[in-house]
Structure formats: structure tokens, C-alpha cells
Structure 1
Amino acid sequence: MPAASALSVLIVDDQATMRSLVRNGLKQIGVTNIREAGDGEEAVSALVARPANLVITDFNMPKLDGMGLLRAIRTYEPIRNTAVIMLTGRADPELVKRASQYGVNNYLVKPFTVVTLRGKIEEVFGAIT
């Protein structure tokens, strides 16, 4: 049972508004170690420089999308065990299937609530306090 304050989270989304919504939701459940990236390329650089416990990433982004980011995380040994929650505006079965093949840990469909966000994180890490 990890403490929410012990989690290190990287939010990856090309829309500042969505990053803000996720950040505010994380703060409401007690997560304080939060970083942000505007696309997958920026996220990979951030993770290599300083790994995180959890990446919450959008699917549709310029440069390197969420699927590309997931593949990059899973193929780079130092960060391959990082938990990844895919944030998407659509529950497309093909997207879910492809992300599952690459080892996504969970999905969060927009729009989401703080309760849903917490639930998705707890499905990955167990109850957080």
C-alpha cells in the first residue's frame, strides 16, 4: 500500500488544459511529485533523466504519440517497468488491443473524475493512502 505522496508521476499530453486537469486530480488524491511533458519525445527525455513510477499519457500527440511512448518505455531497460496509464478520448477496441500488446497497465477515458483517476491508479499500485 504505497502512499500517494511517494508516487512520482509524469503527465504527458500536448494540451496544457488536460495536463492541468490530471495534475489537479492527482493533487486531490495526495500525489505531490508531478512532472509534465508536452509530447512523447519530451517524455522519453524526462524519464531517461529522472525515472517516474507512473506515466499518464495521452494517445494522440504530435512528434511521438502515446503508443510510441509506451513502446519506447517498454524497450528501454532502465525505465521498462514504469507503469503506464493511457489517457484517451475514445475506448477504441483496436487501440486497447495494441496498447495491451505493448504492456499498458491501465486506461483512463476522458472525461474522467478524481474518483476514476484514483481507481485506475489503485488498480495498478494497490490502495494508496
Structure 2
Amino acid sequence: MQAQGRNSFQIDGVLTEIGQMRYSPGGVPVLAGRIEHRSKQMEAGFPRDVELELQVVAIGDKAKMLAVARLGSAARLTGFIAAKSLRSRAPVLHIDTIEFLEGTNHGIQASNEA
């Protein structure tokens, strides 16, 4: 048995692709997509422009949330990274949480309660 290691990932970006809903053999909704990230990061004391696209997958209730998102929506996705398949070792973010950032103040949603 292998030791468990940390695998937690969070990224802010824009949803650039949302696929068609499919279902696992057990009837669980599965939805794949892509997020595009752009930022400035500091590396060894120097600013660096970072741009990337990352494949994402949502399962269950998260798939239903992703299915109603608009392309171009800003989102913060949190989850874990896994290989796409046994044949393709490309990384895929498996979504645990989705936070839509549009209409928020840096991801903090305003409350309508008085």
C-alpha cells in the first residue's frame, strides 16, 4: 500500500470550454471542460507572466453546476490533479468546489440578508 500524499490544487481563471454531459455506468453525471489562467507571479525575485489552459472534470453535483456556467465565466476551482487516463498522463483537475467570481468582490459574495 502506498503512502497517502498531499494533492490539493486551486486555480482562478476563465471557463473556455464546457463539454456535453455524459453519465458513468452507474448513472453519475460527468462533465469535462477547460479553464484558462493568466497571472503575474514572482519567481526568484522576478515577475513572470503565467498563461495556461488546464483540462478539468466535474462529477455528480459539481457536473450539474458546471453545466449551467457560461463560457467566459470567471471561476475559482479547487480539487486534485490526476492523469487523464492510463494512456495519457496529461494532468486533469478533478473539481471538488466551484466558486463563480463574476459579481463578487474578489470571490466574496455579497449577502442579501438585512
Q: TM-score range by the shorter chain?
A: under 0.3
Q: Looking at secondary structure, tell me which structure has more strand per residue.
A: 2
Q: Looking at secondary structure, tell me which structure has more helix per residue.
A: 1
**TM-score of the pair, normalised by structure 2:** 0.26
* Larger of the two Rg values belongs to structure: 2
**TM-score of the pair, normalised by structure 1:** 0.24
